[in-house]
């Protein structure tokens, strides 16, 4: 599925705790377990196996532009890897991912 405005909660006109929790709840109920808040990726535990990590999913996120696909941990990894190699900004940049 293509990316939607609800993929990034930073796009909300008012970002407070209630709006964030409501957005996360709605996405969780649709089994959309990854949500961006600006440059931050929120991951929710579905407490059930879902087909989110197969090689076909990984391949889709390998060379995508931000916003093309829904938020995913593979998108974070791809952006960091390509920035580290200098493919996104012309020169290599150090990367840090906090989990």
Model confidence pLDDT, tens digit, residues 6-55: 799 999 888 899 999 999 999 999 999 999 998 899 999 999 988 889 99
Token pair belonging to 92: 């290599």
Task: Tell whether pTM > 0.85.
Answer: no
Contact by Cβ (8 Å): 75, 59: no
- Looking at residue 98, its pLDDT comes to 86
CA 3 to chain centre: 10
- Looking at residue 4, its pLDDT comes to 52
Q: H or E stretch including 28? A: helix 17-29
pLDDT in tens, 58-99: 988 887 766 789 999 999 998 888 889 987 678 898 888 888
Q: The tokens 């941990």 sit on which residue?
A: 73
Token pair belonging to 86: 């200098």
Q: What is the DSSP letter of 9?
A: G
């Amino acid at each position: 599925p293509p990316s939607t405005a609800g993929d990034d909660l930073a796009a909300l006109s008012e970002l407070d705790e209630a709006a964030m929790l409501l957005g996360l709840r709605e996405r969780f109920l649709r089994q959309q377990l990854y949500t961006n808040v600006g440059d931050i990726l929120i991951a929710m535990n579905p407490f059930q196996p879902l087909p989110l990590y197969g090689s076909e999913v990984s391949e889709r996120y390998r060379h995508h532009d931000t916003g093309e696909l829904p938020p995913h941990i593979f998108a974070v990894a791809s952006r960091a890897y390509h920035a580290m190699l200098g493919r996104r900004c012309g020169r290599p940049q150090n990367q840090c991912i906090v989990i």
